[in-house]
Amino acid sequence: MAIEDVGLAPSTLVFLVLGLTLAAFVWGRFRYDLVALSALLGSVMLGLVPAEDAFMGFGHPAVITVAAVLVLSKGFERSGLVDIIADQILKVGDRLILQLLALVGTVLVLSGIMNNVGALALLLPVAMRMAREHDTSPSLLLMPLAFGSLLGGLMTLIGTPPNIIISSYRGNVSGDTFSMFSFAPVGGVVALAGLAFIVLVGWRLTPKRSGQASAADMFDTANYLVELKVNDESKAKGLTLQQLRDELEESIPVLAVVRDDNRQAGYSFHGMLQAGDILLLEAGPEELKLLEDKAGLSAVAELEGDDEDEEARDLAAEEASDSHPPVDTEGLQLVEVVVRNDSMMINRSVRQLRLNHQFGLHLVAVARDGARLKQRLRDIRFQTGDILLLQGEENEIAESLPALGCLPLANRNLSLGQPRKLLLSMAIFAAAIVAMLLDVLPAAVALSSAALVSLLIGVLPLREGYQAIDGPVIVLLGAMIPVGEALETSGGAGLIAQALLQWGADWPVVVTLVGLFILSMLLSNVINNAAAALLMAPIAVSLARGFEVSLDPFLMVVAVSASCAFLTPIGHQSNTLVLGPGGYRFGDYWKLGLPLSVIVLLVSIPMILWVWPLST
């Protein structure tokens, strides 16, 4: 289908494609990489993007740079650098202001030298542990930590994808990209202003949620652990655990099987159940009724009494759970994780994922919005930010969580890493930075070389290197780059810029910069920040040309504002990651995010005009 067959102007078609794309981003029914790829293919079919150029975006320097940064960030984690820092953070004491200063200050620095989502993911378990050790509500720590990761990303080229995108776009337009630390004068001041506000005032604007610091409190696991006995008449007799699950049509996890006083973890028990076996499993009153009716299993405490009514049975189940040790019994490995917004688990159930067969994990419980879900586990479709309690072998947990797209929150043992790998990792990264500063190599080549060397010398295993590359983000960037270029080549960016120029004709240029900042910031709160930067960059260039001023202040405004997604939990992965662990609600973010956004605006605009003046 060609444009002339549609009968609409190219700019009109671009606006239709982008309108539908933005609506799909906001709706959230489909993952953003699928939406972006649909937008690209739709643009090709409409003739807005030449078919031969459709996938050129996947080889764009910005995409390669982002992938390399993700690999290097994983190398820092593997080397033990972050663990050394985290070990020191845990020593700051029980004063909340000092905890915030240590956590937010550290994530600011780390976000400048590695991907900001990666920096947050590494410090999130540290913040959770700090909250538990000092009996602090994690909601007071996690939102400031997430916002700090966004602020820290402003300081360098590699801190956040919008900076990489804006630098590459500047290179395409003017032939000269921004350097590694071109963003530091503005981004550093903005980050420090944000840090001061969060530590001194902002944390008071975050909601204080109780009962979230402890996994036992969140899941109330002890109240749901019950012991059920297999009798001679039980239908479960002679069945394996898998056959029992098939019979029940329910994925109730059996944590352990006790036979002749010997306990064996459920995930490693493959024999047939015998009379006298005791099953330790996760169940509530409804599940107990199901187990009794379909499998002939009865609570151990119930066997010792004569009362058969339902109320007594429920009470017996609770008493049985009290008779059992806590969940960390021998042979059991439980881990608390949060579902990332790029997880393969989203909108899928346990059965669809084949969590047990394919990944060797049992789902024990799910918490959402700070409360444990009481519905049947098999009926739950996972959502971004869900907190899961999983059971499995230690090695299987370590291998499966990255594949599933889950971030561990508990039982993350801090270690000092390996000094040799730590020094190698830092030396490789430093060499790449020097090559970029001296213009020996462009950023994409220098950082890709550093990532390659890290893999070759074993700083990071090849398998983990591939796992570190965020596939959905890469697809998003590769697909949206041609669509963003179509916005410019079709004249759509010029039309938007012309409307803004007419609006700001009677005002100083700085007013238009403020309007551009607000528009880009609002956009970044409802769609991915990289997509916001890709869409706003051509508009910023058209505005600068219309005013006949330097491109740099307009591009810098987009770079800063596209990374200021402080108003919603969906605008940035960092915000989404803390949604479940902090027990936040959608409307909690703007309470801290709005004043922080105003501060960033008030600080960044004067700094941009000072460092990057309008005069060409």
Q: What is the pTM of this model?
A: 0.71
Matching residue, tokens 């790829």 = 37
Q: Do domains 220-322 and 334-408 have the same CATH topology?
A: yes
Query: Cα(475)–Cα(177) distance, rounded to whole angstroms?
Result: 23
Q: What is the DSSP string of 44-79?
A: HHTTSS-GGGTTGGGGSHHHHHHHHHHHHHHHHHHH
At 189, is the pLDDT very low, low, confident or very high (cuts 50, 70, 90)?
Answer: very high
At 103, is the pLDDT very low, low, confident or very high (cuts 50, 70, 90)?
Answer: very high
Query: Cα(571)–Cα(574) distance, rounded to whole angstroms?
Result: 9
Whole-angstrom CA distances from 484 to 151, 478, 533, 536 are 25, 11, 9, 8
Average pLDDT, the chain: 80
Mean pLDDT check: name the lowest of 156-160, 194-198, 288-292: 288-292
Which tens digits make up the pLDDT trace of 272-292? 888 888 887 766 656 666 777
The residue with greater pLDDT, 167 or 374, is: 167
Which tens digits make up the pLDDT trace of 399-440? 788 788 888 875 444 444 455 577 888 888 889 888 988 888
**Looking at the DSSP assignment, which residues form a beta bridge with residue 408?**
337
Helix and strand tally (H, E) in the chain? 28, 10
At 89, is the pLDDT very low, low, confident or very high (cuts 50, 70, 90)?
Answer: confident
At 332, is the pLDDT very low, low, confident or very high (cuts 50, 70, 90)?
Answer: low
> What's the rounded mean pLDDT across residues 290-316?
53
The amino acid sitting at 23 is A
Query: Cα(534)–Cα(545) distance, rounded to whole angstroms?
Result: 18
Which tens digits make up the pLDDT trace of 449-463? 999 999 998 888 888
Q: What's residue 251's pLDDT?
A: 64
Q: What is the DSSP string of 250-264?
A: S---EEEEEETTEEE
Query: Cα(442)–Cα(155) distance, rounded to whole angstroms?
Result: 19
Q: What's residue 82's pLDDT?
A: 63
Instruction: Please give the share of the chain, as a percent, with pLDDT higher than 90.
Output: 20
The residue with greater pLDDT, 472 or 309, is: 472
Q: Phi/psi of residue 51, each to 5°?
A: -60, -35
Question: Hey, which CATH number is domain 334-408, 3.30.450.260, 3.30.70.1450, 3.30.360.10, 3.30.70.20?
Answer: 3.30.70.1450
At 325, is the pLDDT very low, low, confident or very high (cuts 50, 70, 90)?
Answer: very low
Q: What's residue 264's pLDDT?
A: 78
At 209, is the pLDDT very low, low, confident or very high (cuts 50, 70, 90)?
Answer: low
Which tens digits make up the pLDDT trace of 30-81? 877 888 899 999 999 998 899 998 898 898 888 888 888 888 888 877 777 6
> What's the rounded mean pLDDT across residues 192-203?
94
Which tens digits make up the pLDDT trace of 1-37? 555 555 678 888 888 988 898 888 777 778 778 888 9
Q: What's residue 105's pLDDT?
A: 93
Query: Cα(375)–Cα(353) distance, rounded to whole angstroms?
Result: 18
Q: What's residue 196's pLDDT?
A: 96
Q: Within a 10 A sphere around the Cβ of 261, how many other Cβ atoms? A: 6
The amino acid sitting at 584 is Y
Residue 169 has pLDDT above 50, yes or no: yes
Q: What's residue 219's pLDDT?
A: 56
Query: Cα(319)–Cα(301) distance, rounded to whole angstroms?
Result: 7
Domains of the chain, residue spans: 61-213+439-471, 220-322, 334-408
Q: What's residue 106's pLDDT?
A: 92
Residue 330 has pLDDT above 50, yes or no: no
Residue 345 has pLDDT above 80, yes or no: yes
Q: Within a 10 A sphere around the Cβ of 527, how many other Cβ atoms? A: 24
Q: What's residue 133's pLDDT?
A: 79
Check: CATH 3.40.710.10 for 220-322? no
Give the up-direction half-sphere exposure of residue 267: CA atoms within 13 A in the CB hemisphere.
22
